[in-house]
Amino acid sequence: MSTLTNQMPPPGPPGWGQGSQGGPGGPPPGFGGPQGYSNPPGQFGAPGPGNAPPYSDRTEPYAPSPYPPNPYPPQPYPGNQTYPVPPGYGPPPAGASPVGAGVLGKRRNPFAVWLGLPIITLGIYSLVWVYKTNKELSAYNPRIQVNPALSVLAYVIGWVLIVPPFVATWRLGTRTRDAQRAAGLPELSPGVAFVLWLVGGGALYLQYEINKIWARYPGAVEGQQVPLSF
């Protein structure tokens, strides 16, 4: 049966250990100074007497690259684009900046919308006008969310519940106000539009105010993309 005994490891090469250079336990000759390893110049200290030749910075020029320069240098990303107000369209409101674009609607004769065409078509044109007006306002200002067909149904069959026609009329006034705000124009009063509709003049007033929006873009035609001011 063998027993474990504390044994010292065999001695290493001469000069290795804990003594000074060249002595028992010291660093091998040529490895460093009397206190051990000496660092290269310019890094952590001065070289010892037995260090290797000091390091030197590279002074010779680098060879030119064999590859041609990049013919397509990186371009900055343009980021979010805006639509500036073209000359002649008038300045945006104070403190506002162009925020997008919409589609220009059609200018209509307010008296034809109010009285002439509804009489000729036995009232059918009034429903057509409600549909087209809601559609054009939402196309001009994308922030206006509306289903034109539901607005027409509110007038056709909404009378059974009484409330829907009144709601549809009020919302048409607010949508016209929101479109005027996007054009940078003075806004109408939805309350006034609602009262005039109750007495029979709502379409006349609203079409007159909507025409102001389209008239803000002289030279533009129906269906053309135009900038918004707010």
Q: Is residue 85 part of a domain?
A: no
Question: Does residue 110 belong to any structural domain of this protein?
Answer: yes
88 occurs within a structural domain: no
Residue 131 lies in a domain: yes
Q: Does residue 121 lie in a domain region?
A: yes
Domain count for the chain: 1
Residue-level pLDDT, tens digit, the chain, 230 residues: 445 555 555 555 554 444 444 445 555 554 444 444 445 554 444 445 555 555 555 556 667 777 777 666 665 555 444 444 444 444 444 544 456 889 999 999 999 999 999 999 999 999 999 999 999 999 999 999 999 999 999 999 887 888 999 999 999 999 999 999 999 999 999 999 999 999 999 999 999 999 999 999 998 999 999 999 87
Whole-model pTM: value is: 0.57
Let me know if residue 77 belongs to a domain. no
Q: Is residue 86 a part of any domain in this protein?
A: no
**SS3 string of the chain?**
CCCCCCCCCCCCCCCCCCCCCCCCCCCCCCCCECCECCCCCCCCCCCCCCCCCCCCCCCCCCCCCCCCCCCCCCCCCCCCCCCCCCCCCCCCCCCCCCCEEEECCCCCCHHHHHHHHHHHCCCHHHHHHHHHHHHHHHHHCCCCCCCHHHHHHHHHCHHHCCHHHHHHHHHHHHHHHHHHHHCCCCCCCHHHHHHHHHCCCHHHHHHHHHHHHHHCCCCCCCCCEEEECC
For residue 120, what are the domain limits? 100-218
Establish if 155 belongs to a structural domain. Answer: yes
